[in-house]
Amino acid sequence: MALILGIETSCDETAASVTRDGRQVLSNVIYTQIALHEVYGGVVPEIASRRHIDKIIWVIDAAVREAGIAKDELDAVAVTYNPGLVGALLVGVSAAKALAYGLGKPLVPVNHIHGHVAANYIAHPSLEPPFVCLVASGGHSHILNVKDYRDFEILGATTDDAAGEAFDKAARVLGLGYPGGPKLNKLAESGDPAAIRFPRPRNGFDFSFSGLKTAVINYVHNAEQKGGGYSRADVAASFQQAVADVLVENTVAAAKSVGAKAVALAGGVAANTALRSAMDAAARAEGLRFYCPPIELCTDNGAMISCAGYYNYMAGVCADLTLNADPELKIM
Ligand code: KG4
Ligand code: ZN
């Protein structure tokens, strides 16, 4: 039995969780900074780092307390060390190092993207690799062939904006504010996804969202200049449908190309209701099993880091106290 503390501070959530054997969540504490960054229309890195410093000890203590264990019962301390905002990552990494050193326990480095994939293991206790996973977040969008718990192959990726970034920018054009994804998702519920035919650029299993973003901006500006008005809900629904179509078609095609039997969703954008139902339907039509974490495990959290940390720990992947925060986007 292994009790792993997972710490996550790569962006705007200060989070910690204790899991047992990777799959059983004993606690999952998330302090979200959304309200702090809302007034600026996006995450301000320096403000995020400072708030992580204020909250990290409180969040870790709460995670251990809610798990009903003592700190010295932990088997390892896992932490997101890349990719992310470097100053934000550094807070989690420093706290994890101090704790691991103080407790005399292994320090386990975790890649944030591996963490997102691992959210599926928590949600679906019987799920095992191989499967193909679409990881779509604010900073990265990849179609991964998950060959084993720690063996990933990139099948496709965005060539420009990440899917979440596209949602956030489209939401800004529609005056919805930050964080754009959930707000646009809500507005789209009352719109017609077939009202406007936005572009759906794909190249092999890669995809691109900057042209789609420009198309939304142009549509809104044209409509405003003509003074005729337009339906914000229709723009939101049509944009969301275009993103979902591209992601679903590429993920399913990529899954078929490697003979996968199952597809999964992960990352903040996996919280999108249109994407979830479109992927579910497409997977069903192709005879693929479909997995998706609940919404609270799609966006950043400590449980996914604890779970990915468990598989690293079992594979003997540990870091020494020279571990540093690494902002660079890497999968392996
Ligand atoms: O994974 P995440 O919490 O943080 C990163 O690792 O980036 O993803 C955050 C991103 C943001 O761009 C946010 O707008 C988007 O996920 N997002 C959504 C939804 N919920 C969060 N996008 C579309 N629909 C949603 N319901
Ligand atoms: Zn994330």
Q: Mutate which of 189, 269, 331 to test ligand 1's pocket (most atoms within 8 Å of Cβ)?
A: 269
Q: Give yes or no: residues 306 and 286 share one domain.
A: no
Q: Give yes or no: residues 197 and 209 share one domain.
A: yes
Q: Mutate which of 299, 300, 301, 305 to test ligand 1's pocket (most atoms within 8 Å of Cβ)?
A: 299
Range of the domain at 87: 3-118+297-314
Q: Give yes or no: residues 245 and 308 share one domain.
A: no
Residues in contact with ligand 1 by the CB-under-6-Å rule are 11, 137-139, 164, 167-168, 179-182, 185, 267-269, 271-272, 299-300
Residue 268: the pLDDT is 96
From the CA of 274, the nearest ligand is 1
SS3 97: helix
| Cα–Cα distance, 307 to 112 (Å, whole number) | 11
Q: Is the pLDDT of residue 230 over 90?
A: yes
Is 88 inside a domain boundary? yes
Banded model confidence at residue 228, pLDDT cuts 50, 70, 90: confident
pLDDT tens for 74-123 read 999 999 999 999 999 999 999 999 999 999 999 999 999 999 999 999 99
Question: For the chain, give me the number of helices (H) and strands (E)?
Answer: 11, 12
Structure tokens at 198: 């936005």
Is 203 inside a domain boundary? yes
Residue 88 is part of a domain; what is its CATH number?
3.30.420.40
Residues 280-304 have a mean pLDDT of 98
Residue nearest to atom 7 of ligand 1 (CA): 138
Which residue in this structure is represented by tokens 């992601």? 247
Q: Give yes or no: residues 204 and 290 share one domain.
A: yes
Is 28 inside a domain boundary? yes
- Give yes or no for a cis peptide into 83 (omega within 30° of 0): yes
How many structural domains comprise the chain?
2
Q: Is the pLDDT of residue 332 over 90?
A: no
Phi, psi for residue 107 in degrees, rounded to 5: -105, 120
Q: Give yes or no: residues 91 and 23 share one domain.
A: yes
Q: Give yes or no: residues 217 and 310 share one domain.
A: no
Residue 3: the pLDDT is 98
Is 325 inside a domain boundary? no
| Cα–Cα distance, 270 to 67 (Å, whole number) | 27
- How many other CB atoms are found less than 10 A from the CB of residue 104? 7
Of 243, 110, 49, the closest CA to residue 164 belongs to: 243
Packing angle between helix 232-257 and helix 163-173, nearest 10 degrees?
A: 170
